[in-house]
């Protein structure tokens, strides 16, 4: 696409002395291989009807050796058909490292110790893993970060409930609890503490516990009974997180940043800028977002403790000091969109570079088909492990062997194929199906291609195709779109673009294979090259999605 785009830009300069971007799209094959509405975009600048402009451009494009046909449709759409040689050569093109020399931070997953891992954490973990793979594939130095709340009111609520539940600060009782049920046990205590917080007298107790948590960090206390409970459960929480990441087979995080590590820096910075950025209000320190078209938020509360907002200030400054990044991408739930707008607006007042280089992406709720909205505060959460287990159960119910690789592909693909931003309804039965738009279907498609190649023996990596038949050309045309698809998914930070492409590619190959004999045909060697290219493309795309491409199923 890039060569075609540059060729059209050259023509625009020659004909009309114009520079500018050229948008390209892929039309139905009957109309050509590439289309553009550039003539309609420049009609005012040129002062001529778009169709007349398009016809002039088409005549110039016909002079190019890789263009076999250039025509005009409708009010001025350019349709371009490319030579077979050009399409075949594009399959051998190197992956352009457009982000080489850039440093990207990808912050995702972000579960909080002392709280259960819910389906939203699963979703952002998978999406973040793919975004990191995409920018890394494009040549960027990529740093994977995980930010979690090991201090804050949720910890205060859980620790208060734990002490009440045990009847005292008894570390021996905590360590006697079964490890495999400890995460759910902490989740139950969080719900108890959150429900009790409505009682004003208990609320005061929880706030005192919350202060104790902050204080043990300030004092470096690991020895008191209270501290031993806290540190043991904090460490176990991180072990649970690591188990999930191991189960998901995602790339390991480069760094876990707990809120306790950045809270003091955030609080100190906020206090430093009282008067020029922040203001004091009723004993708290706030940022007046309303005067800037947003909303006002508290950064230091009345107890003198940093809120999430102040901790995010500390996190942003820590990222900048430690990495001096070109871009920092943060992935959270949609409900934090306005929150992050205020925080980044506040940071921009005294640290413009890290704020301006930060991009916040959001996602919707993850629900099971027919389910309801769930909440960790109410205790009716849909956990990350619930999603994985539902895929296993659906596989067993359908009579599949249900290998863990298939379970992972089912869950990953089912979540990733949705456009980032909207709610996701996860259907376990649909996700494990070997037919339709699913991860297991694409795994089977790859294994099927490998089986064809295995029957034929070794296939050369060098293209030996001299002439494309109609069915072959259609497949090559689709294969040639892969690099542009990856580039689009990377620039738009949109994993679903790759999912859509891979499913369409598999369907295209099925049509090709039904209509064109491979093994035993006079064109066996050439068609085996296409099968190999197809298998390699599928594998490459699945790898970018973090999905294993098996050779047998």
Query: Order of strands, edge to edge, in the sheet holding 297-300?
Result: 279-281, 284-287, 297-300
Tens-digit pLDDT string for the chain (553 aa): 788 999 999 999 999 999 888 999 999 999 999 999 999 999 999 999 999 999 999 999 999 999 999 999 999 999 999 998 899 888 877 788 999 999 999 999 999 999 878 888 999 999 999 999 999 999 999 999 999 999 999 999 999 999 999 999 999 999 999 998 898 899 999 999 999 999 999 999 999 999 999 999 999 999 999 999 999 999 999 999 998 899 899 999 999 999 999 999 999 999 999 999 999 999 999 999 999 999 999 999 999 999 999 999 999 999 999 999 999 999 999 999 999 999 999 999 999 999 999 999 999 988 888 654 444 444 456 778 888 888 888 887 776 656 888 999 999 999 999 999 999 998 888 999 888 999 999 999 999 999 999 988 866 666 566 678 878 999 999 999 999 999 999 999 999 999 999 999 999 999 999 999 999 888 888 899 999 999 999 999 999 999 999 999 8
Kindly state whether residue 339 falls inside one of the protein's structural domains. no
By the 8 A CB rule, do 120 and 536 touch?
no
- Considering the domain architecture, whether residues 48 and 167 belong to the same structural domain is answered as no
Last residue of a domain, one of 249, 279, 309: 249
Domain limits for position 231 = 150-249
Asked if residue 160 and residue 237 are part of one domain, the reply reads yes
Domain stops at, among 82, 105, 133? 82
Q: Tell which of 82, 114, 135 closes a domain.
A: 82
Among candidates 336, 338, 388, which has minimal Cα distance to 118? 388
Examine residue 364 and state whether it is found in any structural domain, yes or no.
no
Is 523 in contact with 110 (CB distance < 8 Å)?
A: no
Question: Which residues make beta-bridge pairs with 284?
Answer: 281
Contacts of 480 (CB under 8 A, 6+ apart): 87, 90, 91
Instruction: Output the CA torsion 380→381→387→393 (10° steps).
Output: -10
Shared domain check, 499 and 408: yes
CA separation for the pair 185, 116 (Å, rounded): 9
- The tokens for 399 are 């009579």
Complete edge-to-edge strand list for the sheet that includes strand 34-36: 34-36, 77-82, 67-73
Beta strands in 86-170 (DSSP E): 103-107, 141-148
**Of 331, 436, 400, 423, whose CA–CA distance to 108 is shortest?**
331
Report the largest interatomic distance among the alpha carbons of the chain, rounded to a whole angstrom.
Answer: 86
Q: How far apart are CA 266 and CA 392, in angstroms?
A: 43
CA distance 19 to 232: 63
Give the CA angle between residues 463, 139, 481 to the nearest 5°. 40
CA distances for 118 relative to 25, 122, 124, 373, 377, angstroms:
39, 7, 10, 12, 11
Q: Which DSSP letter does residue 178 get?
A: -
In a domain, 271, yes or no: no
The verdict on 533 and 413 lying in the same domain is: yes
Q: Are residues 437 and 524 in the same domain?
A: yes
Task: State the DSSP code for 306.
Answer: B
- Residue 17: give its domain's CATH number: 3.30.1360.70
Residue 72 three-state SS: strand
**Whole-number Å distance between alpha carbons of 230 and 233:** 5
Residue 160 and residue 245 in one domain: yes
Residues 61 and 170 in one domain: no
Q: Is residue 501 part of a domain?
A: yes
- The reply to whether 241 falls in a domain is yes
Q: Could you tell me how many residues make up the chain?
A: 553
- Residue 533 maps to which CATH number? 1.10.730.10
Helices marked H in 298-403: 308-323, 337-350, 352-356, 384-397
Could you give the count of Cα atoms lying within 13 Å of 193 in the half-sphere of its Cβ? 28
Same domain, 412 and 540: yes
Residue 34 three-state SS: strand
The answer to whether position 325 is within a domain reads no
Work out how many domains the chain is built from and give that number: 3
SS3 content of the chain, % helix, strand, coil (to 5): 55, 10, 30
Is the Cα torsion angle 241, 243, 244, 249 positive or negative in sign?
positive
**322 lies in a domain?**
no
In this structure, how many other beta carbons lie within 10 angstroms of the beta carbon of residue 221?
Answer: 15
**486 assigned to some structural domain:** yes
Q: Does 431 share its domain with 511?
A: yes
Do 539 and 411 share a structural domain? yes
């Amino acid at each position: 696409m890039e060569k075609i785009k540059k060729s059209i830009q050259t023509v625009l300069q020659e004909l009309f002395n114009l520079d500018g971007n050229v948008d390209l799209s892929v039309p139905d094959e009957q109309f050509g291989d590439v289309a553009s509405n550039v003539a309609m975009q420049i009609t005012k600048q040129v002062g001529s009807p778009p169709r007349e402009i398009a016809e002039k451009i088409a005549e110039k494009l016909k002079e190019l050796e890789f263009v076999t046909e250039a025509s005009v449709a409708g009010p001025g759409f350019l349709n371009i058909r490319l030579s077979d040689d050009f399409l075949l050569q594009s399959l051998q093109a190197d992956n352009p490292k457009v982000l080489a020399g850039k440093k990207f931070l990808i912050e995702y997953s972000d579960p909080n110790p002392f709280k259960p891992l819910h389906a939203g954490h699963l979703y952002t973990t998978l999406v973040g893993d793919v975004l990191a793979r995409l920018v890394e594939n494009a040549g960027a130095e990529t740093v994977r970060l995980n930010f979690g709340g090991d201090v804050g009111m949720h910890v205060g609520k859980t620790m208060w409930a734990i002490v009440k539940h045990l009847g005292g600060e008894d570390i021996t009782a905590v360590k006697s609890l079964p490890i495999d049920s400890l995460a759910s046990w902490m989740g139950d205590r969080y719900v108890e503490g959150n429900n009790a917080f409505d009682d004003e007298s208990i609320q005061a107790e929880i706030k005192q516990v919350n202060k104790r948590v902050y204080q043990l960090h300030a004092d470096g206390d690991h020895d008191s009974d209270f501290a031993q409970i806290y540190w043991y459960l904090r460490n176990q929480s991180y072990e649970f997180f690591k188990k999930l990441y191991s189960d998901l087979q995602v790339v390991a995080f480069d760094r876990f940043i707990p809120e306790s590590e950045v809270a003091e820096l955030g609080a100190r910075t906020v206090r430093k800028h009282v008067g020029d950025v922040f203001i004091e209000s009723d004993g708290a320190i706030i940022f007046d977002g309303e005067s800037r078209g947003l909303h006002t938020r508290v950064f230091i509360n009345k107890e003198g403790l940093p809120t999430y907002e102040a901790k995010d200030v500390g996190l942003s400054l820590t990222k900048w000091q430690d990495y001096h990044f070109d871009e920092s991408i943060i992935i959270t739930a949609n409900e934090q969109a306005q929150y992050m707008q205020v925080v980044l607006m506040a940071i921009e007042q005294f640290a413009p570079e890290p704020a301006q280089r930060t991009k916040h992406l959001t996602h919707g709720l993850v629900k099971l088909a027919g389910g309801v909205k769930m909440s960790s505060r109410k205790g009716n959460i849909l956990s990350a492990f619930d999603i994985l287990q539902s895929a296993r159960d659906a596989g067993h119910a359908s009579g599949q062997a249900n290998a863990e690789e298939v379970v992972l592909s089912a869950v990953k693909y089912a979540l990733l194929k949705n456009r980032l931003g909207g709610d996701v309804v996860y259907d376990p039965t649909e996700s494990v199906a070997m037919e339709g738009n699913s991860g297991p279907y694409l795994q089977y498609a790859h294994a099927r291609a490998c089986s064809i190649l295995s029957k034929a023996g070794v296939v050369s990596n060098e293209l030996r195709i001299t002439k494309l038949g109609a069915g072959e050309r259609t497949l090559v045309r689709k294969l040639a779109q892969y690099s542009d698809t990856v580039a689009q998914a990377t620039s738009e930070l949109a994993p679903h673009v790759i999912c859509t492409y891979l499913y369409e590619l598999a369907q295209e190959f099925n049509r090709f294979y039904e209509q064109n004999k491979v093994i035993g045909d006079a064109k066996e060697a050439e068609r085996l090259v296409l099968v190999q290219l197809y298998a390699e493309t599928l594998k490459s795309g699945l790898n970018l999605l973090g999905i294993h491409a098996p050779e047998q199923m």
